[in-house]
Structure 1
Amino acid sequence: MLNFDEQRFLRIQSGAVALRQRLDEVIASCLEKGAENIFFLGTGGAAILMQPAAQLLQRRSRFPVFIDLPAELVVTGSANLMARSIIVIPSLSGTTKESVAFLAKAKEVGATVLTLVGHQETPLGKGGDHAFVNFAEDDTSCESFYMQSLFIALSIMRHRGEIENYDQVVRELEALPRLLLEVKRSYEEKAEDFARILAGADYHIITGAGNAWPEAFYYGMCILEEMQWIRTRPVHASDFFHGTLELVEKDVSVVLFKGEDSLRPLADRLEAFARNYTDRLTVLDTAEFALPGISAEVRGLVSPIVLATVLERISAHLEVMRNHPLTTRRYYKRVAY
């Protein structure tokens, strides 16, 4: 595979899976001590990657869950942020300034802070009450963060008696790193063709529904915009028919990510519409990838993880095709802001 280290990928994703038991123990302890809610409070891309786990809890658990912006909470606070809150702060670098600033506020109220970081010796790596460290870099962080946050959500449901097949689900998830590697291998020949579509336009409407939507949002903002300087319009499939549809015409690129959760019909609806009005609809569908031993239920849970692992292959080809390395920036961590 182009510019890809298979053993490194397996090591990083297996590292995320290896954190499951300790995450479960910490969540159990928090609930035993009377935790009343949980906040997922990342900044930028890391925040987006927490959305599927938050959605899972919102729809299948009665445990209150909040997802907000640390930069705003530092200014406004929250009536729901209290000593009995669990706070999850993901940051690959461990140095994200908005998240570091919020950490101090969380400490003031006495909340229990779980940090998910790639580096221990950082403000967030050292500042959390419970730091979960799994080294990763931009090309491997999505799957890692998705899995860690999913384990947190499943643990809450387990200890509240809101999931009956927890053991089965986590057994399947533990097999995911090697399955994802096979997904990458199976898609490699097609990745260049998809990259050519992305390179062939300077504007894309990028969309999805359910837990595929956060990956559409993330890929549009953090990869195509930040790392490739390609203009995108990320829009949720539920919002597409309330504004963005008017921008669709023959030569407009629409990129649709389809997952396998219960909200897939929303993506089907959008696909049916777009096929009638543009000749530049591109669909990336997780249902096309083999995941031996993974049940339909778990396939639905891991759709954003599968999308992320395929999109990494597309990005690897895209940066070579455009002669624009994914590490190139004009402003991000280059200038004061």
Structure 2
Amino acid sequence: MIGEMITKIVEKKNGIGGIQSVAFVACGGSFSTLYPAKYFLDSESKKLRAGHYTANEFVHATPSYIGKNSVVVTISHKGNTPETVEAAKKAQELGAASIALTFEQDSPLSKYGDFVLPYEWGPDADQKNSNVVTVMRIAAEILHQVEGYAHYDEFCQACGKLNAVTGKAKAATAENAKAFARDYKDEKIIYTMGSGTGMSAAYSYAICILMEMQWINSSAIHSGEYFHGPFEITEPDVPFILLKSSGRTRPLDLRALKFLEKYGKKFITLDAQELGLPEIGKNVCEFFDHIFLTVILRQYAEELASIRNHPLSERRYMWKVEY
């Protein structure tokens, strides 16, 4: 379905200069799920311009390159995020091909998608069809059809291997998740850190799980930026979650870990490489760090919510007050 969709877009755009840019636009957790696709195109494409924008900024400060030679991909789980709906509308107004992903098919966002794609979500979801991987498949298909992609087959095969490797990793970390919940349940702040597509997993865990769903102060730090300011708050009693990449940015994470081991004490690490992600394909695994680590982190979130008696569904302001 994705291949056929991209073929239609390519055929339509070829007569007017072809696809020249791809923008990924959303808010909150959905915003973080788009980053791996942007990172992928930055890494693998020689011609395509890729952008990643929070929806309301896209609406109010629309990039000048968005137009008839663009593809704009939006996500909203319920399809009713006002800023994302406006962003998709703006994309259509500017002549871009609008691809909208939503779990709720009959939604406001669907009205502004030239193509509307469903995705799977929840504990029984096939990760190949998750929102993160669906968008990555869109990016890979655009690259493959527009300029070619040497690792296209390996990438496609990797998508089908995700369920197996994430399942094994969850089993391997189940007891660690319980220990994390016991040890960190009373913390007032927990920092997250990562690099590559692991950075967006760190960001999502900070803003969605810790801040939104657990009301624990947090901030996501890029491993490469840690030594340019944030490391000054490192102390034995300051908690960190460090996500270690399976790919080219791994040295950044290892450098941060070395410092934490010397000057910190209260931290945990999740290592995509040691937990088996490279099994899906050594040339493409780094692009899947986000989804792999996010699936594992979810059980850490569930254990934390349980021991704190603070359900992940509890909110103070979201959907309750005017904002």
How many positions carry a matched residue from both structures?
Answer: 316
The letter of the residue matching 2:40 is L
Question: Are 1:94 and 2:79 an aligned pair?
Answer: yes
The letter of the residue matching 2:305 is E
Counterpart of 2:33 (choices 49, 71, 79) is 49
The letter of the residue matching 1:87 is V
Does the residue aligned with 1:207 lie in a helix, a strand or coil? strand
Q: What is the aligned partner in structure 2 of residue 149 from structure 1? A: 135
User: What is the CA–CA distance in structure 2 between the aligned matches of 1:240 and 1:293, rounded to whole Å?
Assistant: 29
User: What is the CA–CA distance in structure 2 between the aligned matches of 1:327 and 1:312, rounded to whole Å?
Assistant: 13
Change (3 A) 1:58 1:332: same
User: What is the CA–CA distance in structure 2 between the aligned matches of 1:326 and 1:138, rounded to whole Å?
Assistant: 14
Change (3 A) 1:281 1:324: same
Q: What is the aligned partner in structure 1 of residue 98 from structure 2? A: 113
User: What is the CA–CA distance in structure 2 between the aligned matches of 1:174 and 1:81, rounded to whole Å?
Assistant: 33
Counterpart of 1:194 (choices 167, 180, 190) is 180
| Unpaired runs of at least 5, structure 2 | none
Question: Are 1:302 and 2:294 an aligned pair?
Answer: no
8 Å CA contact 1:36–1:64 kept in 2: the answer is yes
Change (3 A) 1:59 1:168: closer
Question: Are 1:78 and 2:63 an aligned pair?
Answer: yes
8 Å CA contact 1:205–1:234 kept in 2: the answer is yes
* TM-score of the superposed pair, with normalisation by structure 1: 0.88
Question: Aligned-pair distance for 1:185?
Answer: 2.6
Counterpart of 2:301 (choices 296, 309, 315) is 315
User: What is the CA–CA distance in structure 1 between the aligned matches of 2:125 and 2:260, rounded to whole Å?
Assistant: 32
**What root-mean-square deviation, in Å, do the aligned CA atoms of Structure 1 and Structure 2 show?**
2.1
Question: Aligned-pair distance for 1:140?
Answer: 6.2
User: What is the CA–CA distance in structure 2 between the aligned matches of 1:111 and 1:157, rounded to whole Å?
Assistant: 17
CA displacement, residues 33-62 of structure 1 (integer Å, 9 cap, x when unaligned):
222211101111101111111011112202
The letter of the residue matching 2:34 is M
Q: What is the aligned partner in structure 2 of residue 12 from structure 1? A: none
Question: Aligned-pair distance for 1:284?
Answer: 1.1
Question: Aligned-pair distance for 1:118?
Answer: 0.3
User: What is the CA–CA distance in structure 2 between the aligned matches of 1:203 and 1:141, rounded to whole Å?
Assistant: 33
Does the residue aligned with 1:175 lie in a helix, a strand or coil? helix
Change (3 A) 1:229 1:285: same
Question: Aligned-pair distance for 1:293?
Answer: 5.0
Question: Are 1:172 and 2:158 an aligned pair?
Answer: yes
CA displacement, residues 187-238 of structure 1 (integer Å, 9 cap, x when unaligned):
2222111222332421122111111111001101110100000111211111
Q: What is the aligned partner in structure 2 of residue 235 from structure 1? A: 221
The letter of the residue matching 1:51 is Y
User: What is the CA–CA distance in structure 1 between the aligned matches of 2:127 and 2:285, rounded to whole Å?
Assistant: 17
User: What is the CA–CA distance in structure 1 between the aligned matches of 2:124 and 2:33, rounded to whole Å?
Assistant: 14
Give the stretch that moved more between structures: 83-92 or 24-33: 24-33
| Unpaired runs of at least 5, structure 1 | 1-21
Counterpart of 2:195 (choices 196, 209, 217) is 209
User: What is the CA–CA distance in structure 1 between the aligned matches of 2:247 and 2:121, rounded to whole Å?
Assistant: 27
